[in-house]
Structure 1
């Protein structure tokens, strides 16, 4: 073999070997709107069990949406995870997911926590749930006066109500479900009543609302259940003292049921590592991962057979879930935002 040919052949072999190693590398590219440090254990356990390395991009939902749109067909995303029904619905409408046929997922994840199946498999799956609950100051508010979302807009609660921004996805989803249940006119009247009853302009996160109730700045507030459970589990003296002043209610328990939300995701439309992506979703539905959602971030498992061993969650008891579809909540987002704008619910 002539020297030039030998060199070229050697270079070819080296390039081919490098390409082969790259092709065989076990990788999963995860785009996630979850920002919980406790999820690190989930990711590391998946890698230990499968040998698949997770490359993670974390950002809020709007930033992820823009990134995926800009990347287009060349997006390296394998799995997209969102933490709100409205966001998941939006991702589905934007065409970010692909259908998945998985016996494991279809068996373990309840039908009401999966996307619509047109015969090719659902495009998304919910892996944990959280409820939008009411907390109140035990000294200044009677539980009977704040037993439902609708009751918060009653004159008896004037100057007592605190919430985060109405335009936050958690509240948009709640309002979207109210539109579905009560209609736009009644929901707008409710929103007007809420604005009239504010103790202060909407600000901060859900933890801020609960602490505002504890301090007496607020009489009543709306928050996601896992924030409440997180404070219940806190060992900080100031949190322990504060929570003694805070009462808890499952809203609409005797009527339509409490609004709940989900964290979930699906396989990205152009996933370069589809097999790894499906494995990851199936892992999130495993007993181990489901139990960790409950213990690590105080969320309820989507898989009903998994037993919760979180004392804070167990202390909240059982609740009646509202019967409103994820798709309905999603499609009502525009109407919800218009209502907020009209009544000045910032």
Structure 2
């Protein structure tokens, strides 16, 4: 009898241990599954529309998006230092040169998706498939409608003419958008021509560089200057602003897409790359598909006034009015290649 009780107890202990093991395995699988429902984006973009995009993606897929903010340089350095322990699934930033920098630092990896390739034309994709563009932005000439006729403006190079002396505003030389513009001019026209251009713009400044692109638009609207070099989407955001005065300022401004008869308008990108470690690679690629699909692209352009990379996106009315334009043709890698030289030329030109 005692032996029978002992055997029953032993059998019960075996079943208990078996069930406990199954439960542990199940818990581990559930934890892993939960982890795979979170995509971590290291983002150097600071636009409210991005959070709305991530929220909509989460509603549709159940995959939550965690944003880790910082400057592009900080985030690339962090990804490199974290190595295999990094939680980064995606790297999101502005500027093709920055994407190339991340690629050269070895913090990205290639990914292939026929759907993403259908969404994004080849000119907005890395040839080695480590990143894709999600939006583009043109760096244009903005002018005061009451003081300048659009026929007076045709190219970046024309802005160095004597007639524009004391009439131009632009951001500082430390600004990435200006550095990439000058880098593109180096790639297209050569160093000497690019240097002469920078010197000519400095000579024609209405004031020393101060503030961001929106501040340049306001300077023109308020009569401090007649012309500004800036990105298109700031005009779109101002025109749709809840601040009525800012919206009125936007109405006083016109836009010229430079160099339509020559080399085209400078166009840069916002882009996203797959992190080298990417613990949740599948979810990360699903997010890229959403961001580059028609729905995501429409939400993005309606919120930021950037140009979409997907031709099927529904454009805001303002972008429809602007229509199509000829863009510069250059390799985005050249922005990284000539970035240091651009900074040197700015310094030599006295562009603060």
- The TM-score normalised by the length of structure 2 is 0.91
* Separation of aligned partners in 1, 2:150 and 2:240: 23
1:227-306 counterparts in 2 under 5 A?
Answer: 227-306=234-313
1:52-201 counterparts in 2 under 5 A?
Answer: 52-117=63-128, 122-201=129-208
The answer to whether the 8 A contact 1:136-1:220 is kept is yes
2:225 equivalent to 1:218: yes
2:24 equivalent to 1:22: no
Uncovered stretches (5+) of structure 1, i.e. residues with no partner: none
Q: CA RMSD in A?
A: 2.1
Structure 1 position 65, deviation (Å): 2.0
Structure 1 position 141, deviation (Å): 3.3
Structure 1 position 233, deviation (Å): 2.2
**Bigger Rg over Cα:** 2
* Separation of aligned partners in 1, 2:280 and 2:337: 31
* Separation of aligned partners in 1, 2:165 and 2:338: 27
Structure 1 position 59, deviation (Å): 1.7
Structure 1 position 312, deviation (Å): 1.7
Structure 1 position 107, deviation (Å): 2.0
Structure 1 position 239, deviation (Å): 2.1
CA spacing shift, 1:164–1:4, aligned 2, 3 Å: farther
The answer to whether the 8 A contact 1:226-1:298 is kept is yes
* Separation of aligned partners in 2, 1:328 and 1:339: 16
* Separation of aligned partners in 1, 2:152 and 2:117: 41
CA spacing shift, 1:153–1:8, aligned 2, 3 Å: farther
Structure 1 position 73, deviation (Å): 2.6
Structure 1 position 34, deviation (Å): 1.5
* Separation of aligned partners in 2, 1:163 and 1:139: 20
* Separation of aligned partners in 1, 2:66 and 2:251: 42
Uncovered stretches (5+) of structure 2, i.e. residues with no partner: 1-9
